[in-house]
Amino acid sequence: MKKVSIINEIDEMLTTYCEGCFVKTQLRKDEGKTAAHRFCISNCTVGTQLQFLGNELNKVGTGDK
């Protein structure tokens, strides 16, 4: 995967699934920003996919494949 296509995929996922996410908004209100962030990176399937894409982007950035 090329760097630009990974970045575009990340942007598309954030726009489609994360902007206006009810769960994130509610967790921020009820438990705070840290708890909402922890949920997104630990329990959300979109967050898991974003982490995967970020790791792939790091591999492309360092020249590893």
Q: What is the pLDDT along the chain (65 residues), one digit of tens a residue?
A: 599 999 999 999 999 999 999 999 999 999 999 999 999 999 999 999 999 999 999 998 776 55
Tally of structural domains, the chain: 1
The predicted pLDDT at position 7 comes to 96
The span from the CA of 35 to the CA of 30, in Å, is 9
- Degrees, nearest 5: CA angle 19-2-4: 45
The predicted pLDDT at position 63 comes to 61
Q: Which domain holds residue 14?
A: 3-62
The predicted pLDDT at position 61 comes to 74
The predicted pLDDT at position 60 comes to 87
